Chains A and B, each alone.
Chain A
């Protein structure tokens, strides 16, 4: 069974440009999460989808970030316009169950975003 996949693995863009990150969760997983790790800091939660609905978007930093999960399968995270402080590694995770308790989140390898 394929794990969580993310594309691209690495993206380098100029400040002010737009970047779209994609996550394909494990097949059948209703829960999809986005996290971000900025250099030198801890991994931080961005948002949680249950199928196509946003369950919790309390971690989204500002309105330059837009996450979608049309059809409840893959998800995209768009940053527009990108700023220097958006540089970091963006992780996607998926899980099968209700999204809480002992539900295990499986992480993708991450997309390393560099904004110059």
Chain B
């Protein structure tokens, strides 16, 4: 079983739609949760960063973490064609009070926003 599960899609939505992207995980040690965006032939770029449970909003993007359900989400409001990319969730563990740098990624969801 993978530590992080993410539906690879692809997901296709019309411009202006609300997009919901999700990941589930199995490792209780994950405490830091990230969403990366990756355009074709580029490296992943950090989009949102959340520590432990709760919500975080940044412009059109909202990240949610529910540690009790081991479930994280990214919402994109008023989606634009420029949002078309692969979205990757990533997580980082804490063991014995020490945070480690290693990231564990989901498979990524391919999103297309069409005009």
A complexed with B: yes
Once bound together, how far apart are the Cα atoms of A33 and B43, in whole Å? 13
| Interchain Cβ contacts under 8 Å between A and B, 14 examples | A4-B43, A41-B107, A42-B4, A42-B107, A45-B102, A45-B104, A55-B101, A56-B101, A59-B102, A99-B100, A100-B100, A102-B32, A102-B51, A109-B41
* Cβ A43 vs Cβ B4 within 8 A: no
Across the A-B interface, the 3 shortest Cβ-Cβ residue pairs:
A100-B99, A107-B43, A99-B101
When the two chains form their complex, are residues B101 and A95 in contact, meaning their CB atoms are under 8 A apart? yes
Most buried by A among B2, B88, B102, B103: B102
Q: List residues of chain B with CB within 8 A of the CB of A100.
A: 32, 92, 94, 98-101
Indicate the size class of the contact surface on chain A.
20 to 34
Known: A43-B103, A59-B102, A102-B49. 7 other contacts (CB 8 A): A41-B107, A42-B4, A42-B6, A42-B88, A100-B101, A105-B101, A108-B43
Any chain A CB within 8 A of the CB of B57? no
Q: Is the CB of A88 closer than 8 A to any CB of chain B?
A: no
Closest residue of chain B to A112 (Cβ to Cβ) is: B41
Tell me which residues across on chain A come within 8 A of B99, comparing CB atoms. Answer: 98, 100-101
**Chain B CB within 10 A, most for which of A56, A95, A105, A107:** A105
Contact of B44 among A91, A95, A99, A101 (CB under 8 A): A91
Count residues on chain B whose CB falls below 8 Å from chain A CBs.
Answer: 27
B contact residues around A98 at 8 Å (CB): 99
Residues in B with CB closer than 8 Å to A104 are 46, 49
Chain B residues whose C-beta falls within 8 Å of the C-beta of A101 in the assembled complex: 32, 51, 92, 99
Residues of A within 8 A of B36 (CB): 107
Judged by a CB distance under 8 angstroms, whether A14 is at the interface is: no
Q: Does A44 contact B (CB under 8 A)?
A: yes
**B54 CB → nearest A CB, Å:** 14
Say yes or no: is A31 at the interface (Cβ < 8 Å to chain B): yes
Are A107 and B102 interface neighbours, CB within 8 A?
no
Beta-carbon contact of B88 and A43 below 8 Å: yes
Residues of A within 8 A of B88 (CB): 42-43
- Residues of B near A42 (CB, < 8 A) are 2, 4, 6, 88, 105-108
